[in-house]
Chain A
Amino acid sequence: MLRVIVRRLLQLVVTLIGLSALVFVWLRNLPGGPVEALLGERATPERRALLTKALGYDQPILVQYAKFMQRLLTGDFGNSIRSGDPVTEVIGRAFPATVELAAAAMIIAIGLGVPLGYLAARHRGRLLDNLSIGGTLLGISIPIFFLGYLLKDVFTQNMHWFPPSGRISTGVDNTDVTGFFVLDGLLTREFDATGDALWHLILPAITLATIPLAVIVRITRASVLDVLNEDYVRTAEAKGLRHKTIRGRHILRNGLLPVVTTIGLQTGALLSGAVLTERVYNWGGLGTLIYDSISGGRDYPVLQALILLAALVFVLVNLLVDLSYAFIDPRVRVR
């Protein structure tokens, strides 16, 4: 097991180096860029030349890349061109925001999706089943940003149940420990901050949860249906085992296997949704950061770091999924 992890991590390093070179060259060949964005309407040829020189873009790309790698090796990702803040700090702020949102969405999706999928399977062909199938179909057919707009309009503008945007109210004095506002409030015993952060979290999380919820319901349902027909379940039922035992030991244990993979897979899909959800709710997370760094002026250092981070997360989540597999199903041995 340990050897697998070490080997994976080594592969990761190689992948990241290759990716960094690709991204570095690619970004610098895009039309537009930081110089254009920083100067705005005020660009003159002289200013453009001065800024190009100041940013070092007048040097050969290989020299630029060498310098970038040199700094990277000392753990320095550079600074955001727009704000001048270290990239690690910029991403460090956005990352917990997205993780908090994604985690809340996944909790909703799993918390509702697995029971719903299970119930739908157990009541196959009946009203609950049909409703859940209809609902999931609608869930994957509705543009998520439109759903966000609708929810926001109804629940913040008409009902005033939730705040329209942001992560926490102005005036709520929260101490930033981990960057996860809900968690911070619990750690520092500022429960009003936790409450306020949760209150801000609910609507965006529901919006982001729609697609994973729909997918999890369907997977769970299908997978439970599969298991229900297995001999060992029939045997257990014939033996007269209690429902609870059958459900816990046989159906769920086996039925959840595909669900776990799906959850891993949905982390990627969640990032797609997060770009849209964060935009709708002015949520200062990675989605917003990615969008701002592209359309707000090609913030090269931030984009480079983000792409590397994305690669990193994929590999790590992947590894976790494998490990959890081994945990749930002893037949699978990670090699």
Chain B
Amino acid sequence: MQASRLKTAVALAAVAALAVGASGCAKSDRDEDGGGDAKTGGTFVFAGAGDPKNFDPIFNDDGESFRPIRQMYDTLVQNKPGTAELQGALAESWEHDPEGKVWTFKLRKGVKFHDGTDFNAAAVCFNFDRWFNMKGAAAQSQMIYYSDVFGGFAKNEAEGVGDPVYNKCEAKDDGTAVVTMNQYKGAFPGAFALTALSIASPDALKKYDADAVKQNGDSFEYSAFANEHPVGTGPFKFVGWDKAKGEITLDRNPDYWGEKAKVDKLVIKIIKDENTRKQELRAGTVQGIDFPAPADRKALSGEGYQVLDRPAFNILYLGFNQKNPKLKDLKVRQAIAYALNRQQLVQTKGPGGTKVADEFMPDTVLGYAQDVQKYEYSVDKAKQLLKEAGAENLTLNFYYPTDVSRPYMPNPQEIFTVLANDLQAVGIKVNGVARPWNGGYKDDVQQFGKHDLHLLGWTGDYNDPGNFVGTFFGRGKVEFGDQAMTEMFEAIGKADSTVDEAGKKTAWEQVNRDIAAKWLPAVPVWHAPPAIVVTKDVKGLVASPLTDERFNTVSVG
């Protein structure tokens, strides 16, 4: 008995020793691996928050896919680091005719794609034509940004997609591409900086059959180009995506036309949970993380990490569904705007740097008016207005999403609870309805309009008021009760089609003033800056309002 127990103990100890030994050698190996020489070279490991879809820019529309794509591709024009202003990229300069229909791009010379082929006007036109001529419902349905900017295709696979904005692209000479549109849109030229509209190598697109988005039952299968052979002109080249490990590896492109990458290797590690991203940062296994939890930012910067706030380029709003006759009354909508203590919400629940929103776009966007009507928190005014409207016993269904965290809305349940509290304080009965973000929330709100009030928001894509205000209120939407607010639609349409910059500015300013005072289809709540965190020894990372960070300027150690 005694002897046998001893044996058990020995066996247990042996197992433990094995485990410790194993961990020990793993650790020492890792240490040897990690050290690189300062400044240039080495590996930059960055933690992203989700899986990319694939690496063909045109078929993507989310930040997690764009993060690696940005490192591998360039656009014709790009955003100046840290701002939403434009600067030359693959095009050194650009101009348009007075009508805003013919866009001429003077291209950079001597640029090569990763596969060694030349970047030139023919390549640019190849890309534009590829997008325009894309066939198949599967492919077209995935070109969200393209249809956002350019409307329809050569042959639309579904009705109502709209007429094509794009007409043709001509390569005047190697260094000049002329793109002709059927109409002007306010989105230009900002939209040319969209990551989705990155220029890919025509050779590779053809070789790896990029257009073949195969429909397999109720899902899509992307091409070898999108999955294994993305080829652009960017500062990093694709090496591989190890899905079992959740790591995307990119190598430095030694022939990059711009500032060559300082690190030899870039690894994007996918860690979905924000808590775990932070812990990995502390463990030293990653040198940077995206989207730290708002609650952790202070602690991290206290520990010596660089917490870089991105200038807020988003908006959270509380929307009204005017299908409810009570909400059709402007006074009721204004009462609700007065009832919300947004200042307190920003202070108690806003991520650091959050500001109360008065308009539906950040103040860095052209056409932001300084003098719109502001709804300062006032219980009295709210009650007064409700009384005037004869809506003292108002009961509203307030929809809010669960199981989601967006940069403009890190924690919707808390936001809802606080706002609902405010509404109850002025005597409005709130009936909270929670729906999972991907389990019917957007459908209920945007497609079926089951709600009275709802929370939604947006992160801007480029510096244009149309991308914010136009997207929300440019036409009748179920979300706001499908109201024929003709006056508002027309004003927005006119502002969006104004080519001349000064005129455009004035027109949008007036739209913003009228939205606040006359139309109030929703209450703007806040602009919340998302953050990005890197270790002390990471230099050269510039946080972008558009989350458009390019890692070629980054050095480690």
Contacts and interface: CB of A to CB of B under 8 A. Distances in A.
A142 B139 CA distance: 49
A53 B158 CA distance: 8
Nearest to B43: A171
A152 interface: yes
A48 interface: yes
A160 interface: yes
Given A78-B218, A295-B403, A192 B29 contact: yes
Interface residues of B, number: 82
Interface stretch (A3-11, A196-204, A257-265, A320-328): A196-204
Contacts of A161: 23
A36 B272 CA distance: 20
Interface residues of A, number: 86
Contact of A46 (B160, B222, B439, B443): B160
A48 B148 contact: no
B446 interface: yes
Contacts of B51: 82-83
A298 B441 CA distance: 13
B216 A79 contact: yes
A76 B276 contact: no
A275 B519 CA distance: 47
A165 B271 contact: yes
A247 B158 contact: no
Interface string B158-170: 1111100000000
A169 B26 contact: yes
Interface string A16-34: 0000000000000011111
Contact of B4 (A162, A243, A282): A243
A97 interface: yes
Contact of B26 (A64, A80, A167, A196): A196
Interface in A38-89: 39-43, 45-51, 53-57, 64, 67-68, 71, 76, 78-86
A294 B437 CA distance: 11
B25 interface: yes
A51 B282 CA distance: 42
A176 B222 contact: no
A84 B456 CA distance: 28
Contacts of B34: 171
Contacts of A53: 137, 141, 157-158
A48 B446 CA distance: 11
A170 B267 contact: yes
B94 to A, nearest CB: 26
Interface in B113-150: 136-138, 140-141, 144, 147-148
Contacts of B140: 50, 54
Interface in A294-312: 294-298, 300-301
B61 A41 contact: no
Contact of B438 (A167, A296, A300): A296
A194 B160 CA distance: 56
Interface in A139-197: 152, 156-157, 160-172, 176, 179, 191-192, 194-196
B23 A162 contact: yes
B285 A32 contact: no
A80 B220 CA distance: 8
Contact of B29 (A51, A156, A157, A196): A196
Nearest to A179: B244
A64 B438 CA distance: 22
Contacts of A54: 136-138, 140-141, 157, 215, 220
Among A48, A57, A84, A93, the most chain B Cβ lie within 10 Å of the Cβ of: A84
A112 B157 CA distance: 62
B30 A172 contact: yes
B454 interface: no
B440 A195 contact: no
A244 interface: yes
A281 B280 CA distance: 11
Interface string B1-34: 1001100100010010001001101110110011
A111 interface: yes
B33 A195 contact: no
B54 A84 contact: yes
A326 B282 CA distance: 52
B146 to A, nearest CB: 11
A31 B439 contact: yes
Contact of B443 (A36, A152, A157, A243): A36
A32 B160 contact: no
Contacts of B359: none
Contacts of B458: 41
Interface string B442-454: 1110110000000
Given A167-B245, A300-B218, A152 B279 contact: yes
Quick one: which of B34, B148, B161, B272 has the most chain A CB within 10 A? B272
Contacts of A271: none
Nearest to B273: A282
Nearest to B148: A42
A46 B156 CA distance: 11
B62 interface: yes
Given A54-B138, A199-B22, A295 B436 contact: yes
Contact of B439 (A172, A194, A295): A295
Given A46-B158, A165-B271, A170 B45 contact: yes
Given A166-B245, A166-B246, A202-B19, A32 B436 contact: yes
Given A83-B51, A192-B25, A279 B161 contact: no
Contacts of B438: 32, 36-37, 295-298
B243 interface: yes
Contact of B219 (A43, A79, A170, A292): A79
A32 B22 contact: no
B283 interface: yes
B219 A55 contact: yes
A40 B244 contact: no
A115 interface: yes
Given A47-B144, A282-B276, A295-B403, A97 B244 contact: yes
Given A157-B279, A301-B217, A32 B443 contact: yes
A135 interface: no
Given A32-B438, A49-B158, A53-B158, 13 more contacts: A32-B441, A34-B218, A39-B442, A40-B61, A46-B161, A50-B157, A54-B215, A83-B51, A163-B283, A165-B271, A192-B29, A194-B22, A198-B23
Interface of A: 30-34, 36-37, 39-43, 45-51, 53-57, 64, 67-68, 71, 76, 78-86, 93, 97, 111-112, 115, 119, 122, 152, 156-157, 160-172, 176, 179, 191-192, 194-196, 198-199, 202, 243-244, 247, 279, 281-282, 284, 292, 294-298, 300-301
24 contacts: A32-B440, A32-B442, A36-B438, A36-B442, A41-B456, A49-B160, A50-B141, A50-B161, A53-B141, A54-B140, A55-B218, A55-B219, A78-B216, A79-B217, A81-B218, A81-B220, A83-B54, A161-B23, A169-B285, A170-B245, A172-B29, A196-B30, A199-B27, A301-B217
User: 4 closest Cβ contacts across the A-B interface?
Assistant: A31-B440, A164-B279, A54-B137, A50-B158
